[in-house]
Amino acid sequence: MDAFSLFGPALRRLDPETAHRLTLWALRRGLAPHQKATDDPILASELWGLTFRNPLGLAAGFDKDAQVMAAMLGLGLGFVEIGSVTPRPQAGNSRPRLFRLPEDGAVINRLGFNNAGLETARAQLAAFRKAGRSAKQRAGPVGVNLGKNRETTDAASDYVLGAAALAPLADYLVVNVSSPNTPGLRALQARGELEELLGRVKAALPQPAPPLLVKIAPDLTDEDKADIAAVSLSLGVSGLIATNTTVARPGDLRGSARGEAGGLSGRPLFAPSTAVLGDLYRLTEGRIPLIGVGGVASGADAYRKIRAGASLVQLYTGLIYGGPALVPRIKTELARLLREDGFDNLQAAVGADHRYSG
Ligand SMILES: Cc1cc2nc3c(=O)[nH]c(=O)nc-3n(C[C@H](O)[C@H](O)[C@H](O)COP(=O)(O)O)c2cc1C
């Protein structure tokens, strides 16, 4: 969602990063719609001991500094993921670094983990917790997505710092090894690297530890995916998030920014990210909960992710083009599709494609 969708089409002419800053400003001031209706009970689920009143969450990158968690939950989202947070504040790449491709329903970004750092995130999360009662009573869980500073050579040490500091304030933690805009980051998805990284992060977690998830890229070989599944099963990873943005550029992109470097998100990412999600469901035999993200812009899209294996779904780019009204629309359509196919709860539909297509 950007300022366009809150304030009207005139602001569409603003560059996208300015529009995003204005949107965060408006959300902080409570200028966003607030959902009054309660969610359809068919959309509710329990995962990792947490209650999700609906499966639709905000993907990382929208609220990097944990500024608008309450406002986004207030729009009707079932959960929110803040970050990516790096230990030290970081300016990110030079501008322009965020581009709309409206013809494609897509965005390209090469922000490079611009964020205010771990101490700011910790203060924001602590204030939110204090105001917001216990996790069970809040409108929805808040996950914390961890990254690394660009200059850090021992990548694991940054994730360890983030995990140790923010675990007590996170309903779940995400090790993000899939952003394309930090050199070397995606190499952490390789088997040996991932094993070492997750081993060190797990050892650093204070008890009781929150669920630990790993967010992966869409641009993986079959061997990569098999390795990630094997490592996740053997190390007891709580969940996988599939996927981050892609460095691929489908040949049919029309937006004039299609040649920009960075990660592509939105509609063109839907099919490849859903394929990776389905592969992971199969490779983990449905034993690890998956969060499906990439190109969700309708209830039908969310439903396809769920049938492919997602227990929860996230979106970001869809909100840029669809605005806040997209949230209730997706939920209504998803509830209808579940009922049409004879499911009486969301969990029953998770991975359904794998069962019915043999
Ligand atoms: C502007 C922008 C910034 C992002 N920043 C992050 C980030 O900091 N950490 C992360 O894990 N993913 C980040 N993402 C990726 C999203 O969380 C999501 O995985 C991806 O955009 C696919 O979902 P979508 O098609 O619904 O946008 C970012 C995406 C966009 C568009």
Nearest C-alpha neighbor of 307 from the set 352, 272, 337: 352
- Among 316, 319, 321, 326, which residue has the most ligand 1 atoms within 8 Å of its CB, making it the best to mutate? 316
Go through the domains of the chain in sequence order and give each one's CATH number: 1-32 (no CATH), 36-356 (3.20.20.70)
Tell how far the Cα of 201 is from the centroid of ligand 1, in angstroms: 22
Residues forming beta bridges with residue 246, ordered by sequence position: 264
Residue 315 CA to residue 87 CA, distance in Å, equals 25
Q: What is the pLDDT of residues 195-216, one digit of tens each?
A: 999 999 999 999 999 999 999 9
Cβ(98) – ligand 1 distance below 6 Å: yes
Return the pLDDT at 221: 96
pLDDT at residue 6 above 70? no
pLDDT at residue 95 above 80? yes
Residue 47 CA to residue 207 CA, distance in Å, equals 19
Contact 11, 4 (CB under 8 A): yes
Return the pLDDT at 36: 87
Positions marked active-site: 179
Whose alpha carbon is nearest atom 14 of ligand 1?
61
pLDDT tier at 33, thresholds 50, 70, 90: confident
Residue 288 CA to residue 240 CA, distance in Å, equals 7
Return the pLDDT at 358: 47
Beta-strand relationship, 172-176 and 212-216: parallel
Average pLDDT over residues 268-273: 98
Sign of CA dihedral 157, 159, 161, 163: negative
Cβ(156) – ligand 1 distance below 6 Å: no
Task: Dig out the tokens for 117 from the structure.
Answer: 């750092």
Residues 185-220, buried b or exposed e (16+ Cβ, 10 A)?
bbebbeeebbeebbebbbebbeeebbbbbbbbbbbb
The total number of residues shown for the chain amounts to 358
Residue 34 CA to residue 73 CA, distance in Å, equals 9
Q: What is the pLDDT of residues 44-78, one digit of tens each?
A: 999 999 999 999 999 999 999 999 999 999 999 99
Using the atom order of ligand 1, give the atom closest to the CA of residue 59. 17
At residue 46, what is the residue type?
A: E
Average pLDDT over residues 81-90: 98
Query: Across all residues in the chain, what is the average pLDDT?
Result: 94
Nearest C-alpha neighbor of 43 from the set 343, 289, 354: 343
DSSP class of 43? G
Side by side, the strands of the sheet bearing 263-266 are: 98-101, 106-109, 263-266
Return the pLDDT at 3: 53
Residue 111 CA to residue 47 CA, distance in Å, equals 31
Beta-strand relationship, 50-52 and 45-47: antiparallel
Whose alpha carbon is nearest atom 10 of ligand 1?
60
Whose alpha carbon is nearest atom 15 of ligand 1?
244
DSSP class of 308? H
Whose alpha carbon is nearest atom 1 of ligand 1?
109
Whose alpha carbon is nearest atom 4 of ligand 1?
61
Match 């790993």 to its residue by tokens.
Answer: 214
Cβ(246) – ligand 1 distance below 6 Å: no
pLDDT tier at 189, thresholds 50, 70, 90: confident
Tell how far the Cα of 33 is from the centroid of ligand 1, in angstroms: 23
Beta-strand relationship, 106-109 and 263-266: antiparallel
pLDDT tier at 4, thresholds 50, 70, 90: very low
Q: What is the pLDDT of residues 129-181, one digit of tens each?
A: 998 755 555 689 999 999 999 999 999 999 999 999 999 999 999 999 999 99
Cβ(318) – ligand 1 distance below 6 Å: yes
Average pLDDT over residues 228-235: 97
Average pLDDT over residues 261-284: 98
Nearest C-alpha neighbor of 145 from the set 216, 193, 94, 195: 216
Percent of the chain topping pLDDT 90: 89
- Among 245, 274, 291, 305, which residue has the most ligand 1 atoms within 8 Å of its CB, making it the best to mutate? 245
Sign of CA dihedral 156, 158, 163, 165: positive
Cβ(276) – ligand 1 distance below 6 Å: no
Average pLDDT over residues 256-272: 98
**What SS3 state is found at 141?**
coil
Return the pLDDT at 10: 56
Cβ(84) – ligand 1 distance below 6 Å: yes
Contact 152, 162 (CB under 8 A): no
Rg (CA), the chain: 19
